[in-house]
């Protein structure tokens, strides 16, 4: 094995990592990063006449290859074959439409976010006043896109192993390059390098295969070539595989080649992640932060592996190495903290979002462990001054164990969506007098579909009027926004619906529903929700 740690420590690490996977990862599949911010027509729209075009706006930049909007009628026939147009900033795609006869239509879209993740989904609209809206027309389409729990956990495990192998391999080679090895240490160093390279190559091929399979679902051979040569994520994956293979032939010959190889393979990884999703200056800064973050992690992880490898047989060498490593480890941990903090502020508009997404929760666990590493580092420096070797060995092993767990977490959150996902709000309530359901879809800033269905449960009491107000809690200077439902004839069972941009700002909102019955009794209900 590539790790020199005790059996008990290995089992403990493995248990913790498996727990993270199955407790936190399995319940939800959240690997798509760009999300649909606005759709026109919106999901569940009931239109009186045919729309002129479909406009989909995403919250992050998309790859300018392999994107599509497909429209299907009730018979499952595709009715639009032209390729949609992408905006210059690569966040919006438009699909012109012919005149659509009255009926229900599935809008199916398939794009790739700039950080390398496929976004595939579908929703339904209806055209014509007399059309019966069939909300579940796309149910089968959406169900086929759900991954099983086993598949999700396997993907997570492969990505974790890849990140560990990448950081440990590059860090190990860095220390072998910048620190002088004794002649008798070189055979061990070469063997360990070879083992690490095997782990890196296998895990790189594994993660590249998984990502390419996700991206190439139902695509042609021509599109495969376009993906690998014409997209950032494709080039990044191809470069990572080629560099990990090339390492077997070029490493440990010349130190400058080793350093260039480390720089290139970390750069390739930086382009395959969240950092690639931004534009212009922000994108450049986020890519630089990603590279520095990876390099800092490699310095820390590689140094710990170096110490554990030679601790027993080269104690005098490690005694001399420890003060040198301690300085670099402190700098690398500070850089990890600073770049990680900057990275978080770029991705997350509000820090309280960290509590509402798996990415944020795992990040908080990681930050806690990093702070613990700082504490251990301080104790380790104290023990080094006192020359207490037994304590130093135990602390280094504990530090290494924490490093494995932290790398495992980072390997997972690298592929998770930093932002909480907006999902349709469906609020059901019932008392002794009435029951109602309120729907806001897709519940994103901007254009949404609003619908309230209410039933009176009392004899001879009908529903006379329903009013829906949206209260923006983050700025109470903004008066409540009324959703303008049309008046309808009072009845025991009523339904109100409207489309519009009555939810214009992200943040904390309160839905206020007022229901007046035929005896002019008014009931007021409240529901708090967040628009991300």
Q: Which comes out higher in pLDDT, residue 313 or 117?
A: 313
Does the pLDDT value for residue 467 go beyond 70?
yes
pLDDT (average), residues 289-317: 89
Closest alpha carbon to 236 in 275, 282, 280, 285: 275
Q: For residues 195 and 247, is the Cβ–Cβ distance under 8 A? A: no
Express as a percent the part of the chain with pLDDT over 90.
Answer: 23
Write the pLDDT tens digit of every residue in 35-71. Answer: 777 788 877 777 888 889 999 988 778 887 778 888 8
pLDDT (average), residues 498-504: 81
Does the pLDDT value for residue 185 go beyond 70?
yes
pLDDT at residue 130 in the model: 54
DSSP string, 120-143: EEEEEEEESTTPPP-GGGGHHHHH
Confidence of residue 6 (pLDDT cuts 50, 70, 90): very low
Write the pLDDT tens digit of every residue in 217-274. Answer: 656 667 777 777 777 778 888 999 999 999 999 999 999 999 999 999 999 988 877 6
Q: For residues 125 and 69, is the Cβ–Cβ distance under 8 A? A: no
Question: If you search the block for the tokens 């140094």, which residue do you land on?
Answer: 303
pLDDT at residue 221 in the model: 66
Confidence of residue 150 (pLDDT cuts 50, 70, 90): low
| Strand arrangement of the beta sheet that strand 103-112 belongs to | 46-47, 118-127, 103-112, 68-72
Q: Which long-range contacts (CB under 8 A, 24 or more apart) does 136-139 make?
A: 137/74, 137/104, 137/106, 138/106, 138/108
Please count the other Cβ atoms lying within 10 Å of the Cβ belonging to residue 417: 22
How, if at all, do strands 46-47 and 118-127 pair? parallel
String of b and e for 443-479 (b: at least 16 CB within 10 Å)? bbbbbbbbbbbbebeeeeeebbbbbbbbbbeeeeeee
**Cα separations (Å) of 89 from 60, 86, 109, 276, 469?**
10, 8, 18, 14, 34
CA dihedral over 32, 38, 41, 42, signed as positive or negative: positive
Q: How far apart are the first and last CA of the chain?
A: 44
For 328-365, the three-class secondary structure string (H helix, E strand, C coil) is HHHHHHHHHHHHHHHHHHHHCCCHHHHHCCHHHHHHHH
pLDDT at residue 396 in the model: 80
Q: Outline where 232-314 has alpha helix (H).
A: 232-250, 255-270, 280-310
Please count the other Cβ atoms lying within 10 Å of the Cβ belonging to residue 390: 8
Does the pLDDT value for residue 346 go beyond 70?
yes
Does the pLDDT value for residue 448 go beyond 90?
no
* H or E segment and range at residue 77: none
For 182, how many CA atoms within 13 A lie in the half-sphere containing its CB? 11
Contacts of 14 (CB under 8 A, 6+ apart): none
Does the pLDDT value for residue 361 go beyond 60?
yes
Write the pLDDT tens digit of every residue in 505-522. Answer: 888 999 999 998 888 888
Taking the C-alpha atoms of residue 1 and residue 302, their distance in angstroms, rounded to an integer, is: 15
Name the DSSP class of 21. I
DSSP string, 159-170: HHHHHHHHHHHH
For 92, how many CA atoms within 13 A lie in the half-sphere containing its CB? 11
pLDDT at residue 30 in the model: 44
Contacts of 46 (CB under 8 A, 6+ apart): 125, 126, 131, 133, 497, 499
- Reported pTM: 0.71
CA 431 remoteness from chain centre: 39
| Strand arrangement of the beta sheet that strand 463-472 belongs to | 481-483, 463-472, 507-517, 522-531
pLDDT (average), residues 383-406: 77
Q: Please tell me whether the peptide bond between 286 and the residue prior to it is cis, using omega within 30 degrees of 0.
A: no
Q: Please tell me whether the peptide bond between 352 and the residue prior to it is cis, using omega within 30 degrees of 0.
A: no
For 303-316, the three-class secondary structure string (H helix, E strand, C coil) is HHHHHHHHCCCCHH
How, if at all, do strands 92-96 and 103-112 pair? unpaired
Q: Which comes out higher in pLDDT, residue 190 or 419?
A: 190
Least confident stretch, 196-210, 328-342, 377-391, 457-471: 377-391
> Can you list the domains of the chain with their CATH numbers?
7-29+148-413 (1.20.1630), 36-143 (2.60.40.1220), 425-531 (2.60.40.3340)
Taking the C-alpha atoms of residue 461 and residue 256, their distance in angstroms, rounded to an integer, is: 85
Does the pLDDT value for residue 190 go beyond 90?
yes
Does the pLDDT value for residue 498 go beyond 80?
yes
| Radius of gyration, alpha carbons of the chain | 28
Cα 502–503–508 angle (5° rounding)?
145
Does the pLDDT value for residue 295 go beyond 80?
yes
């Amino acid at each position: 094995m590539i790790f020199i740690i005790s059996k008990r420590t290995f089992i403990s690490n493995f248990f913790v990592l498996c727990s993270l996977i199955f407790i936190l990862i399995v319940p939800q599949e959240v690997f798509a990063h760009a999300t649909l911010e606005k759709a026109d027509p919106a999901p569940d729209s009931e239109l009186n006449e045919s729309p002129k075009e479909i406009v989909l706006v995403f919250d992050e930049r998309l790859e300018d290859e392999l994107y599509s909007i497909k429209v299907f009628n009730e018979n499952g026939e595709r009715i639009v074959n032209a390729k949609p147009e992408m905006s210059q900033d690569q966040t919006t795609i438009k699909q012109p439409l012919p005149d659509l006869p009255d009926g229900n239509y599935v809008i199916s879209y398939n794009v790739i976010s700039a950080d390398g993740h496929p976004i595939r989904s579908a929703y339904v609209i209806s055209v014509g006043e007399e059309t019966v809206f069939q909300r579940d027309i796309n149910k089968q389409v959406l169900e086929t896109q759900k991954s099983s729990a086993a598949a999700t956990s396997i993907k997570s495990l492969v990505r974790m192993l890849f990140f560990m192998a990448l950081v440990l391999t590059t860090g190990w080679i860095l220390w072998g390059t910048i620190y002088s090895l004794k002649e008798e240490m070189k055979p061990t160093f070469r063997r360990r390098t070879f083992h690490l390279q095997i782990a890196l190559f296998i895990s790189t091929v594994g993660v590249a295969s998984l990502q390419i399979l996700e991206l190439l679902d139902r695509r042609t051979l021509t599109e495969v070539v376009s993906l690998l040569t014409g997209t950032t994520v494709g080039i990044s994956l191809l470069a990572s595989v080629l560099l990990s293979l090339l390492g077997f032939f070029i490493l440990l010959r010349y130190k400058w080649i080793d350093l260039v190889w480390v720089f290139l393979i970390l750069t390739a990884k930086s382009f395959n992640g969240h950092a690639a999703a931004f534009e212009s200056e922000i994108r450049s800064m986020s890519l630089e932060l990603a590279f520095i973050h990876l390099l800092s992690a490699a310095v820390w992880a590689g140094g710990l592996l170096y110490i554990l490898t030679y601790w027993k047989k080269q104690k005098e060498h490690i005694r001399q190495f420890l003060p040198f490593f301690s300085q670099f480890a402190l700098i690398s941990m500070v850089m990890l903290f600073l770049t990680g903090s900057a990275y978080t502020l770029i991705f997350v508009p509000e820090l309280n979002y960290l509590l509402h997404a798996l990415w944020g929760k795992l990040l908080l666990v990681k930050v806690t462990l990093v702070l613990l590493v700082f504490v251990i580092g301080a104790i380790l420096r104290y023990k080094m001054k006192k020359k207490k070797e037994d304590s130093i060995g135990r602390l280094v092993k504990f530090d290494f164990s924490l490093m494995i767990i932290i790398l495992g977490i980072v390997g997972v959150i690298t592929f998770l969506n930093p932002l909480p996902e907006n999902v349709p709000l469906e609020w059901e309530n019932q008392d002794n007098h009435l029951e109602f359901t309120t729907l806001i879809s897709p519940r994103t800033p901007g254009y949404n579909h609003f619908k309230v269905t209410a039933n009176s449960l009392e004899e001879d009491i009908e529903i006379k009027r329903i009013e829906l107000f949206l209260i923006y809690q983050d700025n109470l200077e903004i008066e409540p926004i009324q959703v303008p439902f049309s008046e309808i004839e009072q009845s025991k069972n009523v339904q109100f619906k409207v489309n519009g941009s009555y939810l214009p700002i992200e943040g904390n909102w309160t839905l206020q529903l007022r229901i007046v019955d035929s005896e002019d009794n008014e009931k007021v209900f409240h529901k708090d929700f967040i628009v991300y």
